[in-house]
Every structure is written in structure tokens, then in C-alpha cells.
Amino acid sequence: MRKTAVALVIALALTLTACGTGGDTPSSAPDDPQPTWAVPCVAPSGALPPGDDIGKLALPCLGGDQTATPLANGMPTVLNLWASWCQPCRTELPEVDAFYKAAQGEVAVLGVDTSDTASAARFAAEDFKITFPSRHDADGRLLALTGKRTLPVTVLLRADGTVAHVYNGTPLTRQGLADLVAEHLGVRVGV
């Protein structure tokens, strides 16, 4: 019995020694891969509309320049709050992207990665081949301003930066989003 215990202690010591990195010697493992997704945000030009708390909220761009700029941009805007860990968001993101492609020049579409890490969000955007710009809201300030607690959330802003409607339900389809935009912003987008 004693020989078995000694053998186990020696085996454990050898195993732990083999797992070490050799003290201060750097590991030769490659760095973690970094996402390559980078859709830049377009900063508003000219004077900003008065807006409200949501329209005035300034958040950094997820896919480029980290300068925080207001969400309101002087045209009707769809804000889509999402996160990489949100399963319903993963269903909705491709639909929002299809709407974005159809709405070019009529309605601005801006994603807002919420309560997430920027790296995880960029990987998710890469996976779904998202082409619309997104902002990064690590601490969920925008979600708190909507009064909602779960994602996804879609906020419709009027051209003056005020909130026309907040949607928080089943994941939207591109047609469902087009219907909300027509009803609350008065803009018809053919999808």
C-alpha cells in the first residue's frame, strides 16, 4: 500500500511539472485569433437634431473608429440592439441585414452590440456576414434607456432623433421590420 502511495505522489509530481510553462519562459502558443470584421460607422454631418436621451447617447463604433458619436443622424433610423450570446438575436441579425440592404438611403440602420465584449461581437458579425454598422455598448446603457430587459430590442428614431417606437418581442423578419418602419416612421421600404 505504501509503495502504491509513493508511486502516485511521484506520478502526480511528474504530471504537474510537465504541465508548467517553465517559469518566466513565454509560451510558444500562437496568440488567440482576432476577428477581422470592420464595418465603419458614418459620423453625422452638420448640426445634430435635438433628439432625446436615446438619440443623444454617444457610443463608439464596433467596427472601426472608437470615437463615440450620437446615435441620431438626422434621418429616420432603426437601432437594433443585439449581442453575440443572444440566441434570438442570431435569428434576427440576418433579417436586419437584408432590411439594411433594401433601405439604403431611405432609413439608416445601426446595430448596437449590448452588454457584450467587442471581440465576441465582431466574431458574431463576421459569422453572419453583417454589412450594417454597429456601435458598442458594453455596459448596456441604451438597453436601460429603453426600459427593456431582454434582447433583441429594436428602436425606431424619427429624423429629429426622438423615439417613435420600441419593439421587444419575437425576432423580426425583414418584412416585419419594414412594416414597423412604415407604421411608425412613415417610410415604405420594399423588401
Q: Is the peptide bond before 152 cis (omega within 30 degrees of 0)?
A: yes
**Grid-cell match 473608429, residue found:** 65
Assess if residue 137 is contained within a domain: yes
If pLDDT is split at 50, 70 and 90, which confidence band does 42 have?
low
Mean per-residue pLDDT, 32-50: 58
Q: Give me the CATH number covering residue 163.
A: 3.40.30.10
The pTM for the full model equals: 0.76
If pLDDT is split at 50, 70 and 90, which confidence band does 3 have?
low
Q: How far apart are CA 123 and CA 166, in angstroms?
A: 27
The 10s digit of each residue's pLDDT in 167-176 is: 999 999 999 9
Mean per-residue pLDDT, 9-26: 37
Q: Could you tell me which of 143, 144, 12 has the C-alpha nearest to residue 89?
A: 143
Assess if residue 45 is contained within a domain: no
Give pLDDT, residue 33.
64
Assess if residue 113 is contained within a domain: yes
How many domains is the chain partitioned into structurally? 1
Assess if residue 129 is contained within a domain: yes
Res. 27: pLDDT tops 70: no
* DSSP H or E run through 137: strand 134-137
Give pLDDT, residue 74.
87
| Residue 104 domain boundaries | 53-185
In the chain, DSSP finds a helix count (H) and a strand count (E) of 6, 7
Q: What single DSSP character describes residue 61?
A: B
The CA radius of gyration of the chain, in Å to the nearest whole number, is 23
Res. 156: pLDDT tops 90: yes
The 10s digit of each residue's pLDDT in 73-129 is: 889 999 999 999 999 999 999 999 999 999 999 999 999 999 999 999 999 999 989
**Grid-cell match 502504491, residue found:** 4
Assess if residue 35 is contained within a domain: no
Give pLDDT, residue 17.
35
Assess if residue 172 is contained within a domain: yes
Assess if residue 23 is contained within a domain: no
What's at 160, amino acid-wise? D
Assess if residue 64 is contained within a domain: yes
